[in-house]
Structure 1
Amino acid sequence: MAFLAAALPYIAAAGTVISTVSTMKAQRDAGAAQNDATKFAAEQYDDNANAQRAMAQRRAMESRRQGRIAASRAQAVGAAAGGAGSVDVVNRIADLEGQGEYAALVDMFNGEQAARGLETQATATRYSGDQAESAGKRAATGTLISGVASLASKYGSGLAQTGTASTNTQGQSTPLYNNPAYVRNM
C-alpha cells in the first residue's frame, strides 16, 4: 500500500503528460484536416472557374452563330426584294454581324468575370485552410506549454524529493548568503 501511495504522484504526472500529448495531437490533426478540406473546396472552385470559361465560350459561339443567321436572313430578304447589293442592306447585314460579335464578347467577359470570382474564392479558401492549420499548431504549442507549466506547478518540487528538506554542503537548509553569520564575516 505504501508503494502505491509513493507511486501516485508519478502516475498522475504520467497521466498529465499523456493527456497533454494527445490533446496536442488532436489540435494539430484538426488543423491539418481543416486545411485538407479547404484545399478540396478550393479545387472545386477552380474547376467551377474553368467550367464558367467553357460555358462562356459556348455562349459566345452561339451568339456569333445567331448573328450570322440574322445577317444571312437579312441578305435573303434583301435579295428577295431586289436590293441585295444596296448600301442599306449591306449596312444592316454589317450591323447584325456586329451585334452578334458584341454579344459574343459580352458572353466571354461575363464568363471571365465569374471565373475570376471563383478563383479569388479558391485563393481565399486556401488561405483560410493554411490559417486553420497554423492555428492548430499554435494551439498544440500552447497546450504543450500549459502542460509543462501544470506539471511544474504540481510536481516540480514533489517528484524529485522524497519529503526531506534540501540542504547545502554545510548541512544548512538555507544558502550561505542568507546565513547572517556567513554574511557578517565576509
Structure 2
Amino acid sequence: MALGSWVVSILGSLTDTLTVLRLSFCTNREIPHFFCDLPEVLKIACSDTLINNVVVYSVTIIVGVFPLTGILFSYSMIFSSILRISSDRGKYKAFSTCGSHLLVVSLVYGTNLGVYFSSVATSSSRMRLMALVMYTMVTPMLNPFIYSLRNRDIKVALVTVLSKMVPLKERFDARLS
C-alpha cells in the first residue's frame, strides 16, 4: 500500500511538472505566496493553460478523491460495526479511537481538495493563501496534538494548563473520570 501511494504520488507530481515545462512565462512576474503552488504558477503563465488545468484536476481526483472515497467507505463499515457493540463503554472507546484519525483526515483532505478545487470557483488569492497555510502548516502541527489527546497524562497536563488560564478545572476533572 505504501509503495502504491508513493508511485501514484510520484506519477501525479511528474505529470504536473512535465505539463508546466511546456508553458512560457512572462518576465517580472511574482507569485503572492510563500511557496510555488501549482495553481498559482499556472496563473502567471503567458501561454494557454487549459491542458494544465485538465491535468491538475484529473490528478487531484486520482490522488485525492479516490483515496478519500476509500477512507469514507472504510469508516462507514467501521461505524456500522461499532454500532453493533452492545456496551456503551465499548462504543465510546471505539469511537474515540476512530475520531482522532477522522478529524486529521478531514483537516488534510478538506483543505487540500478545497485549495485545488477552489481555483475554479474563485480567483481570491487571499482565501487560497489561508487554505495553503492551513494544510502546509496548521494541520501538520495539529496532527501530534490530536493524536496525543488520547493519552490520559496529556489530558491531565492540558487540564492543568487550562485551569491556570481559566478556572474550569472542576468541569474538566469530572469529564476525565
TM range (shorter): 0.3 to 0.5
Structure-1-length-normalised TM-score: 0.32
Higher Cα Rg, which structure: 1
Bigger RCO (CA 8 Å, 6+ sep): 1
Bigger share in helix:
1
